[in-house]
Structure 1
Amino acid sequence: MQPVVHLAVGYLCYAAYTRWRGGTAPADLPALVAVFAAGLADFIDKPLYAAGVVPVGRTIGHSLLFAVPLIAVVWLLAARRDRRVLGVAFAIGYGSHIATDIPWHVISGDFDELGFLLWPITEMPAYTGVKPLGTVAGVEVTTLWLEAVILVAGVALWWADGRPGVDAIRRALRG
C-alpha cells in the first residue's frame, strides 16, 4: 500500500472506533496520533532501506516482533499518564498499517512477501509492487485503484469531520 494511503486508513479506522465508542468524530490530538502511527512503519523502514541498512523497505517497522512491543510500550506510557485514548489511537493507527499491508499479497498469491510480519526470523523478498486484481471493461484494475478509493474516502471523512488535527497543528506552529 502506498504510504499516504496508510495515513487515510489510520484515520478511517480511528474515526470508526470513535463513532463506535462514543458516536463522535475524533478529537484533534488522538486523530493526529492515529495518523502519525499509521505512517510510522514506513517512516522507520523506507529511510533505512534508502540508506542501505536493510535489504527491503518492509523490515523492522513492519515486523510484528517490533510492532507489538512498541504498541504495548506506547499504550502503557499513555495509561500511566492517564491518556489511554492516545494509546488506543496509536495502537489503531499502527495496527491498521500492518493489517492493510497483508491483503494485497494474499489476493495476488504472493505469500512469500508476507515475510515482513516476522522479519528477521522470516525472509522478506523484494517487493514486487502494484498487484493486478483483474480486468473490468477492458481496463486492468490494480491495487492502486482500490488505494485511490480508500484515500479519497479517508480525506472525505476527515474533511466532513471538521479536519481534526489542523487547529492543533496551527496552535503548535504559532507557539
Structure 2
Amino acid sequence: MWPWEHVIVGYVAYSLFSHLVYREGPNGAATVAVVFASLLPDLVDKTLSWQFGVFPGGYALAHSVFVAVPVSILVGALAHRYGRTRVGLAFGTGYLLHLPSDVIPDYPRYGRYPVERVLWPLEQAEGEHGQGLISGFFDLFVPFASQLITLDPSPELTFQLGLIGCAFLLWVYDGMPVVRELVVGTHRRVTREGL
C-alpha cells in the first residue's frame, strides 16, 4: 500500500471515530499523531531493510503485531496520563490499521492474505533489501507516476485518486486540522505582537 493510502485509512477511521465519540472532527495534534503512526511501520522497516539491509524485506519489526500492539498501548497510556487521550487514540488507530492495510488489499490480486508481513519474528516476509531507501521508493513509484503523466490511469489508480479526493473533502469538512491550528496560532501571535 502507498504511504498516502495508509494516511487515508488512518485519518478517515480516526475522523469517523472522533465524530461518533466526541461529536467533532480531529484536532491538529490528533491529526499529526494519526498521520505519523500511519507511516511509522514503513518509515522504520523500509529504512532498516532497503537502506541498511537489516531485514530481508520491508515488513519486519515495526509491522509486527507483537510490536504494534504493545507500542500502541504504551503510547495510549502515556498520552492518557498527560491528558492527551485523543492523541493516544489517534496514534493507535493509525499504527494498528497500517497492519491489516498491508495484508487485506493483496487478496484480490494474489488470492491470499500475506499474514507473514505482520508476524515477525515468527515469520519473515521476503522482498527487496539493501537497494537504498530513495532508490527503492522510486523503483515502485515510477510506474505509478507514469500512469498519471500519460493520463492513462488503471482502474486501480482511478479508485485511488477517488479515495484521495474523498479523504481531502473529509479533511476540509473537519476544518482542515493542523492548517487550522497553524493559522489560529499565527493570528494570535500577530495580534499579540501588534498590540
Quickly name the TM-score band, shorter chain normalised.
Answer: 0.7 to 0.9
Instruction: Give the secondary structure class of the aligned counterpart of 2:105.
Output: helix
1:84 maps onto 2:97 in alignment: no
State the match for 2:144 in structure 1.
none
Unaligned 5+ segments in structure 1 are 130-138
Instruction: State the one-letter code of the partner of 1:62.
Output: H
| Structure 1 runs (4+) greater than 6 angstroms displaced | none
Alignment of 1:17-166 (within 5 A): 17-51=17-51, 52-109=53-110, 111=112, 113-126=114-127, 141-142=155-156, 144-166=157-179
State the match for 1:132 in structure 2.
none
Q: Percent identity?
A: 30
User: What is the TM-score normalised by the length of structure 1?
Assistant: 0.81
Indicate if the aligned counterparts of 2:103 and 2:117 stay in contact, CA closer than 8 A.
no
Going from structure 1 to structure 2, the CA distance change for 1:148 and 1:81 (only over 3 Å counts) comes to same
Indicate if the aligned counterparts of 2:103 and 2:113 stay in contact, CA closer than 8 A.
no
Distance, in Å, in 2 between the alignment partners of 1:34 and 1:21 is: 16
Q: Which has a greater percent of helix?
A: 2
| Alpha-carbon RMSD | 2.5
Indicate if the aligned counterparts of 2:49 and 2:57 stay in contact, CA closer than 8 A.
yes
Over alpha carbons, which structure has the higher Rg? 2
User: What is the TM-score normalised by the length of structure 2?
Assistant: 0.73
Alignment length, in residue pairs?
Answer: 163
- TM-superposed CA distance for 1:46, in Å, is 1.3
List per-residue Cα deviations over 1:78-118 (Å, max 9, x = no partner).
12212211111111111121121121223334536320111
Distance, in Å, in 1 between the alignment partners of 2:23 and 2:36 is: 23
Instruction: State the one-letter code of the partner of 1:16.
Output: L
Indicate if the aligned counterparts of 1:113 and 1:125 stay in contact, CA closer than 8 A.
no
Distance, in Å, in 1 between the alignment partners of 2:111 and 2:49 is: 21
Unaligned 5+ segments in structure 2 are 129-139, 141-152, 190-195
Indicate if the aligned counterparts of 1:9 and 1:151 stay in contact, CA closer than 8 A.
no
Instruction: State the one-letter code of the partner of 1:79.
Output: H
Going from structure 1 to structure 2, the CA distance change for 1:89 and 1:140 (only over 3 Å counts) comes to closer
Q: Which has a greater percent of strand?
A: 1
Distance, in Å, in 2 between the alignment partners of 1:4 and 1:40 is: 12
Instruction: Give the secondary structure class of the aligned counterpart of 1:61.
Output: helix
- TM-superposed CA distance for 1:145, in Å, is 4.1
